[in-house]
């Protein structure tokens, strides 16, 4: 399934729908959860306080309207805090993040609502990410934000100063 969205936090909507329809009902991979591979200019993990456990526990992921309103009104409007809420709901086993354009963060573990532990791993090199994924037999969920393929003429990343990298560079990364 391919989903194209404008506001990146709405990726959570599709992750939750997929989670509900396939994983929660054990129609797809049984007990296995996919690994989320996020390729993004920004670090969309978010902060621990992006997850209000009561709000997330109350969320009915089977109700598409409630889920859409949750993404619109609850998740960070800057579109950079939707990964931890998904992990809290145990939608993914682990998260691997390819991010060479910003300070990425440090590898860490995160506990979901059931007490299961998830790894969050950061990579600044495509080859290192691929090496980490090769021994895995888990399915993958790819979250590709097109802003990963930009270069900013202003070091502060001011809106409007981005330019798309060359087509050859995009193909090489993909």
Task: Give residue-wise pLDDT tens across range 156-174.
Answer: 555 556 778 788 888 887 7
Half-sphere CA count of 172, side-chain side, radius 13 A: 8
Residue 130 has pLDDT above 60, yes or no: yes
> What are the two backbone dihedrals, phi and then psi, of residue 149, each rounded to the nearest 5 degrees?
-95, 35
Structure confidence by residue, pLDDT tens digits, 42-79:
778 888 877 788 999 999 999 999 999 999 998 888 87
Which pLDDT does position 85 carry in this prediction? 94
Residue 120 has pLDDT above 90, yes or no: yes
Chain centroid offset of residue 8 CA: 9
State the alpha helices, DSSP H only, in the chain.
11-18, 53-58, 64-73, 83-88, 126-133, 167-173
Pairing state between β 35-39 and 140-144: parallel
Structure confidence by residue, pLDDT tens digits, 80-116:
889 999 999 999 999 999 886 555 568 999 999 999 9
């Amino acid at each position: 399934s391919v989903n194209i969205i404008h506001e990146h936090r709405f990726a959570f909507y599709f992750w939750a729908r997929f989670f509900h329809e396939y994983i929660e009902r054990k129609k797809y991979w049984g007990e296995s959860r996919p690994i989320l591979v996020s390729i993004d200019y920004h670090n969309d993990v978010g902060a621990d306080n992006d997850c209000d456990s009561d709000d997330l526990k109350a969320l009915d992921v089977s109700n598409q309207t409630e889920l859409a309103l949750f993404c619109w009104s609850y998740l960070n409007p800057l579109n950079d805090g939707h990964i931890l809420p998904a992990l809290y709901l145990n939608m993914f086993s682990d998260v691997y993040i390819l991010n060479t354009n910003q300070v990425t963060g440090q590898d860490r573990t995160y506990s979901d609502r059931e007490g299961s532990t998830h790894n969050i791993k950061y990579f600044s090199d495509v080859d290192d990410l691929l090496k980490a994924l090769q021994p895995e037999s888990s399915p993958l969920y790819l979250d590709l934000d097109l802003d990963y393929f930009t270069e900013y003429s202003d070091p502060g990343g001011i809106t409007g100063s981005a330019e798309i990298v060359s087509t050859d560079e995009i193909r090489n990364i993909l």
